[in-house]
Structure formats: structure tokens, C-alpha cells
A = this chain, B = another copy of it.
């Protein structure tokens, strides 16, 4: 994981609307959710939603798959884990300490 990519993903999640959107997809699990279904839950204009969704897809946090006219969106769990790992993986590398999370994930 490169710093730039991690930062882009964190920034993508760092907007309340997008974070809410992402969490909806995380909750939805492997089945995913159609863009329209997400819109129903968020109650924001479709163009705004599309922008936010694009950001999550572009940064690799969400994947999309067409099913007829609807687009199914899914949280990219491996991507999420890589990001979390990145945050923790060098925990205390320069000092001895009880790792908070990092090694537990290794």
C-alpha cells in the first residue's frame, strides 16, 4: 500500500456523506446494494450521490457490477483491510511497545 493511495482512500472516507454511504455498503455485505437503494437510504440528489460513489470506486473502496439497468455496489473488504493494516502496520516500529492493533492483524 502506497502512502498516496492510503491517503486518497482515507480522504474518500473522510466526508460524512461518503462515510455514511460506505457504511451502508459495509452493512449490506456481499450482496451489495443498487445505487437506487442507497439513494433511498440517504435521501440526497442522484447527481450528488453519483459523485460520492465515483470517489469511493475510484479509490478502490467500492466495486460495482451491472445487473440489467441497475448498478450493484459492494464494499471492497480486502481493500478495507489493506487500509486498516496500513494504519497500524508500523505501530511502534521505532520503539518497543505493546502493539495496539497492528500485529493482531498480521
Contact = CB atoms under 8 A, between A and B. Distances in A.
A104 interface: yes
B13 A95 contact: no
A96 B31 CA distance: 10
Interface residues of A, number: 41
As for how many copies of this chain the complex holds, the number is: 2
A77 B23 CA distance: 23
A34 interface: no
Given A95-B28, A100-B81, A7 B3 contact: no
A19 interface: yes
Contacts of A12: 14
Interface in A1-45: 3-4, 6-16, 19-20, 23, 26-31
A101 B84 contact: yes
Contact of A77 (B27, B29, B91): B91
Contacts of A19: 3, 6-7, 10
A26 B5 CA distance: 18
